[in-house]
Amino acid sequence: MPNQTIEVTSSEQSCGATVRGVNLSDELSPDDVARLRELWLQHHVLAFPDQDMSDDDLERFTLYFGSFGHDPFIEPIDGRAHIIAVERRADEKAPVFAETFHTDWSFQVHPPAGTCLYGITIPPSGGDTLFANQHLALEQMPDELRARIEGKSAIHSARLAYAPTGVYGDVDRESGRSMRIIASEEANETQTHPLIMPHPETGKEVVYGCLGYIVGIEDMDDNEAFALLVELHQWQTRDEFVYRHVWEAGMLVMWDNRSVLHAATGGYEGHDRLLHRTTIGAYRP
Ligand SMILES: [Fe+2]
């Protein structure tokens, strides 16, 4: 029997729901996991407040939904191969990490299905995460714009972020950033994915990825591709597609990297912030 106490409250925004009545520091039954997967695919972003999770709990929860994804360019926390600290000290001056919309590791051959993020130290205000629902963005896209991306393959790369010349490369090394970022030439590799694709689990069409990790479009001149990607990005991240997530300490959030873009926000200068993150690997039926 599924856990009858699971309570779901929609954000009433473009995506996102809060789930109560399940203790993530306990083992979950297969029925509960199936129910949570269904809710995750329906709402794209699930928030579980009032949890008390150890790193073991976070890893176990992640593995209910797939294998661990591979996290390049960021060194894991001590003693854990699959947990990253998303961290910022109160006095840190480096630009806020991941403040532009993206979907995690979309430059990989098999990008991750999802990401789990657990709030440990959360500032009293600021640091919200924005999620943009890419099913809605596609559904409501003007035909003229859709026609220009239909059948096109996007070229994804980590180079603007994690190459030595990227924003987290050489120029960032002296910034005093607390996150353990390791820029490398490997970031210059590219991988293509269709701009419009069916969600691997629901089959529902989605716009996948955006300018940033997308650095070009196959068989299109770079200038033309850039202009199109800028226009597309403006559409993909319109307010009506965005859910603004407000964090609490002890809250676990899991999102679907195939159906939403996300972006960090700042606004918490003078406060420490720490979250632990895991990556859910690509879906294998
Ligand atoms: Fe991210």
DSSP state letters, 208-243? ---BTTEEEETTS-HHHHHHHHHHHHHHHT-GGGEE
Query: What are the C-alpha distances in Å from 13 to residues 9, 72, 92?
Result: 11, 32, 32
Q: How far is the CA of 232 from the centre of ligand 1 (A)?
A: 19
Q: What is the pLDDT of residue 285?
A: 84
Q: What is the pLDDT of residue 174?
A: 86
Q: How far is the CA of 157 from the centre of ligand 1 (A)?
A: 14
Mean pLDDT, consecutive 10-residue stretches, the chain (285 aa), reads 77 98 97 97 98 98 98 97 97 94 98 98 98 98 98 98 96 91 97 98 98 98 98 98 98 98 97 98 94
Q: How far is the CA of 3 from the centre of ligand 1 (A)?
A: 31
Which residues keep their CB under 5 angstroms from ion ligand 1? 98, 104
**pTM reported for the whole predicted model:** 0.97
Q: What is the pLDDT of residue 274?
A: 98
Strand pairing category for 45-48 and 17-20: parallel
Q: How far is the CA of 262 from the centre of ligand 1 (A)?
A: 6
Q: Is 194 left (phi over 0), alpha (psi -120 to 50) or beta?
A: beta
Kindly report the CA angle at 250 between 52 and 2, in degrees rounded to 5?
A: 60
